[in-house]
């Protein structure tokens, strides 16, 4: 079989698997979110933290719960890193520097998992397990909980209640994330991933030198970093490292895991609003954008012009030889379409147009299918904007799923959409205006700008991948990127919950002959068009100065 044929089969098998998982995984999560029964272990946790599991919260209380949990998590993880040298299994590593510890704490709590450090030489095993991996579970659960709260806003009428954040958080961790993580880690260990508490061993390289390669609890972190769309990696080489991604089939599983929850959540949406066609329409929108991206990245990497790429048939620089271009390009598209940020190849070495597609994936708002939870609430915000535009075009009061989209709802949706571009463009402009920040660019010209633009795009969209040609472990980048991650995660969540509260308080509007059918192809096409137009108008000038200028 040719490389192109193998790549097509790899992509097709992922599509089939995701379609097969859509209904059973979605239905299972629906039952988790709608049951009134509490497990015994869950009740013990509620008693421990002083929560009434049967008491529901307004959107303001729900938001304060998210913010309080995030604040405590950041402070705990920061302190954990600063005290590392005094902890068990520190491997003799010193405390993490203050600015880097702050950046890392914010990064993992916001589901970004941006790493300005080399994992195996910076973090001890206990910090990796009890600090970073725990946040892989918690941050993913927060995103899913917020998405479910927004769906409840569409479902409920004339109420101020959106559920209970603490109940949602515990259930998602115990009933959804943990079981898959246990099974997945077992599969990964069988596939050759490392899972131990060893300090590592010295190995002889093909160059005749000796290199120290640490062991550690890799498989257990790897499965939740993908399934929770977290990203990051135990090793600096991330999923290109053979201890972290041993074979082609583990590579396939990693891509499937990072897409599974986000593609199944529209099924939850459809079940909760009482119309599975609504969920299917959202899933189709995600799939159209995702498939277009995967094909575009593969095409850019295979068809790149140049003497060496033409000689070998593709742009292979920065690509892990075990996986080849199709598997690497598909992984890159999937990880930037979600908020995962894990990599199995160097995005900085991609062709200019291939890199532009990866940036555009994040600039979409990571909605195709997006992060765990954040993808669903992001696409629903864009659906609200779409029906508002459609209502203005025909002179009708905009409505979505029987809820009026008035000025208050549009303000929440607009603030959500404007937050990330503001952080990306202002952050990039500020960095480019400072000589000290420009000094971190290892490449001049358009590619150097692309590295900076990618960094702030990745941070503000809570992705975590990077054009690694930029030296980001500086006080400026550790501080400003942490600010972009924190604001890019928490401000949109507040706006989403505000929108959910506004929708839940409404009296539903009966459908009429003039109501836009939001489960039909017309609506699907309109949302895809709105997504592309909004992103193009917002980011095209910056892209034109960076990857597009380099590519042309």
Please state the rounded mean pLDDT for residues 217-244.
Answer: 91
CA 428/CA 450 separation, integer angstroms: 10
The model's pLDDT over 16-68, given as tens digits with 9 standing for 90+, comes to 999 999 999 999 999 999 999 999 999 999 999 899 999 999 999 999 999 99
Which helix or strand (DSSP H or E) is residue 210 part of? strand 210-213
CA 408/CA 502 separation, integer angstroms: 8
Pick from 99-113, 176-190, 428-442, 506-520: least confident: 506-520
Question: Which of residues 298 and 317 earns the better pLDDT score?
Answer: 298
Q: Return the structure tokens found at 401.
A: 């799923």
Question: Dihedral (C-alpha) 41, 45, 48, 52: value to the nearest 10 degrees?
Answer: -110
Q: Return the structure tokens found at 102.
A: 């702050």
In angstroms, what CA-CA distances link 187 with 201, 213, 245, 537? 24, 22, 12, 44
CA 511/CA 402 separation, integer angstroms: 7
Instruction: Collapse the DSSP code of 224 into the 3-class scheme (helix H, G, I; strand E, B; otherwise coil) and give the result.
Output: helix
Please report, rounded to a whole number, the percentage of residues in the chain having pLDDT higher than 90. 71
Strand partners, 484: none
pLDDT-derived band at 308, boundaries 50, 70, 90: very low
First-to-last alpha carbon distance for the chain, in angstroms, is 33
Pick from 77-86, 290-299, 344-353: least confident: 344-353
Highest mean pLDDT among 177-191, 206-220, 428-442: 177-191
Please state the rounded mean pLDDT for residues 299-303.
Answer: 84
Global pTM value = 0.95
Residue 307 pLDDT: 46
pLDDT-derived band at 306, boundaries 50, 70, 90: low
Q: What DSSP string describes 515-552?
A: S--TTSHHHHHHHHHHHHHHHHHHHHHHHHHTHHHHH-
Backbone angles phi, psi at 163, to 5 degrees: 110, -165
Residue 522 pLDDT: 94
Residue 357 pLDDT: 94
CA 27/CA 29 separation, integer angstroms: 5
Backbone angles phi, psi at 330, to 5 degrees: -65, -40
Residue 155 pLDDT: 95
pLDDT above 90 (res 270)? yes
pLDDT-derived band at 305, boundaries 50, 70, 90: low
Residue 81 pLDDT: 95
Counting every residue, how long is the chain?
552
Structural contact between residues 440 and 466, judged by C-beta atoms closer than 8 angstroms: no
The candidate with the shortest Cα–Cα distance to 315, out of 450, 255, 324, is 324
CA 344/CA 51 separation, integer angstroms: 42
Q: Return the structure tokens found at 483.
A: 């600010």
């Amino acid at each position: 079989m040719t490389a192109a044929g193998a790549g097509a089969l790899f992509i097709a098998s992922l599509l089939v698997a995701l379609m097969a998982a859509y209904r059973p995984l979605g239905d299972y999560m629906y039952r988790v979110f709608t049951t009134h029964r509490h497990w015994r272990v869950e009740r013990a946790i509620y008693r421990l933290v002083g929560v009434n599991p049967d008491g529901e919260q307004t959107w303001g209380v729900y938001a304060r719960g998210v913010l309080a949990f995030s604040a405590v998590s950041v402070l705990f993880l920061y302190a954990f890193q600063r005290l590392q040298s005094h902890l068990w299994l520190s491997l003799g590593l010193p405390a993490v520097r203050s600015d880097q510890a702050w950046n890392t704490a914010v990064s993992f709590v916001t589901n970004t998992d941006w790493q300005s450090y080399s994992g195996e030489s910076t973090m001890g095993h206990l910090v990796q397990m009890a600090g970073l991996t725990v946040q892989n579970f918690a941050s993913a659960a927060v995103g899913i909980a917020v998405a479910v709260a927004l769906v409840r806003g569409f479902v409920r009428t004339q109420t101020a209640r959106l559920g209970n954040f603490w109940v949602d958080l515990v259930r998602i961790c115990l009933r959804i994330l943990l079981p898959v993580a246990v099974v997945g880690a077992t599969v990964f260990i069988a596939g050759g991933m490392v899972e131990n508490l060893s300090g590592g061993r010295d190995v002889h390289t093909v160059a005749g030198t000796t290199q120290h390669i640490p062991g550690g609890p890799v498989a257990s972190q790897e499965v939740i970093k993908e399934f929770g769309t977290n990203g990051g990696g135990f090793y600096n080489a991330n999923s290109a490292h053979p201890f972290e991604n041993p074979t082609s089939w583990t590579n396939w599983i990693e891509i499937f895991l990072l897409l599974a929850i986000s593609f199944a959540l529209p099924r939850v949406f459809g079940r909760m609003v009482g119309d599975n066609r609504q969920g299917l329409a959202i899933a189709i929108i995600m799939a159209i954008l995702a498939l277009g991206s995967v094909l575009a990245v593969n095409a850019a990497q295979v068809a790149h012009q140049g003497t060496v790429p033409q000689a070998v048939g593709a742009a292979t620089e920065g690509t892990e030889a075990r996986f080849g271009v199709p598997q690497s390009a598909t992984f890159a598209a999937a990880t930037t379409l979600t908020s995962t940020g894990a990599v199995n190849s160097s995005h900085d070495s991609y062709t200019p147009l291939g890199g532009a597609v990866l940036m555009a994936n994040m600039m979409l708002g990571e909605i195709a299918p997006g992060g765990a939870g954040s993808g669903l609430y992001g696409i629903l915000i864009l659906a609200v904007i779409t029906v508002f535009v459609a209502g203005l075009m025909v002179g009708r009061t905009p409505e979505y799923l029987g809820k009026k989209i008035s000025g208050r709802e549009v303000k929440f949706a607009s603030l959500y959409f404007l937050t990330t571009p503001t952080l990306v463009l202002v952050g990039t402009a500020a960095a480019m205006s400072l000589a000290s920040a420009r000094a971190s660019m290892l490449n001049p010209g358009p590619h150097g700008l692309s590295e900076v633009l990618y960094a702030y795009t990745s941070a503000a969209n809570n992705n975590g991948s990077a054009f690694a040609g930029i030296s980001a472990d500086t006080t400026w980048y550790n501080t400003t990127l942490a600010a972009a991650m924190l604001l890019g995660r928490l401000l949109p969540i507040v706006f989403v919950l505000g929108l959910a509260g506004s929708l839940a308080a409404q009296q539903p509007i009966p459908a009429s002959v003039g109501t836009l059918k939001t489960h039909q192809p017309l609506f699907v096409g309109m949302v895809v068009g709105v997504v592309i137009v909004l992103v193009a108008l917002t980011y095209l000038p910056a892209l034109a100065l960076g990857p597009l200028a380099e590519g042309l």
